A and B are shown apart, each in its own frame.
Chain A
């Protein structure tokens, strides 16, 4: 594809449900990032993958959050037992290499927890 895609674009979950958010990065991009953006705020870093290796998960808010990228391409962010404070837009970004450079963002998944 031409850019980073994310699905679903919108997700409504009842408190306590598990959700899975998918990211398809640009083909061949080594680096993949997940960010969380609360309403009216800037994005906040969650986790980073270099190919299939999760090198940094320091931003994950709790052990209810889990991310994987098993084959070094598609990534999934899973949130277990969702809480209302998890409501946010979850953004995925990829970049070609392993050093700091421009990041290409997907449109995001807006998660609403009722």
Chain B
């Protein structure tokens, strides 16, 4: 079953604009990760935010996490045509049989398809 749900399903913007994608999830988490997938390729890790963090930056990426609302957002600033891809959030939930730790089994959402027009 899908834990994370991304919103919107598709986003089309012009180069230079900002892109915001949202992710909602249902259960408690250890961390939330964002991945990018170019057509026909594997996933590339973008950023990991832990449950005790609220915001994280990496280059043009900004991720927020609101555990009270069980939601996260990914902001890509000053977008480029090369940012065109599918973006997935993935959650890692604590294991009830292991004192809350986890080896990293990820539950992915259905993704947001981002198109950046030159």
Contact = CB atoms under 8 A, between A and B. Distances in A.
A66 interface: no
Interface string A17-39: 00000000000000101010000
B45 A31 contact: no
A107 B42 contact: yes
Contacts of B104: 31, 33, 48, 95, 99-101, 103
Contacts of A107: 41-42
A100 B108 contact: no
Contacts of B108: 35, 42-44
A100 B92 contact: yes
Which of the listed residues B30, B106, B110 has the most CB atoms from chain A within 10 Å of its own CB?
B106
Interface in A92-114: 93, 95, 98-108
B44 interface: yes
Contacts of A35: 106, 108
Contacts of B41: 107-108
A93 B33 CA distance: 14
Contacts of A44: 108
Interface of B: 2, 4, 30-31, 33, 35, 41-45, 48, 88, 90, 92, 101-111
Interface of A: 4, 31, 33, 35, 40-45, 48, 50, 55-56, 91, 93, 95, 98-108
A48 B33 contact: no
Contact of B42 (A31, A45, A91, A100): A91
Nearest to A3: B42
28 contacts: A31-B104, A33-B105, A40-B110, A42-B2, A42-B88, A42-B90, A44-B108, A45-B106, A45-B107, A48-B103, A48-B104, A48-B105, A55-B103, A91-B43, A99-B101, A99-B103, A100-B31, A100-B92, A100-B103, A101-B48, A101-B104, A102-B45, A103-B43, A105-B42, A105-B43, A106-B42, A107-B41, A108-B42
B109 A42 contact: yes
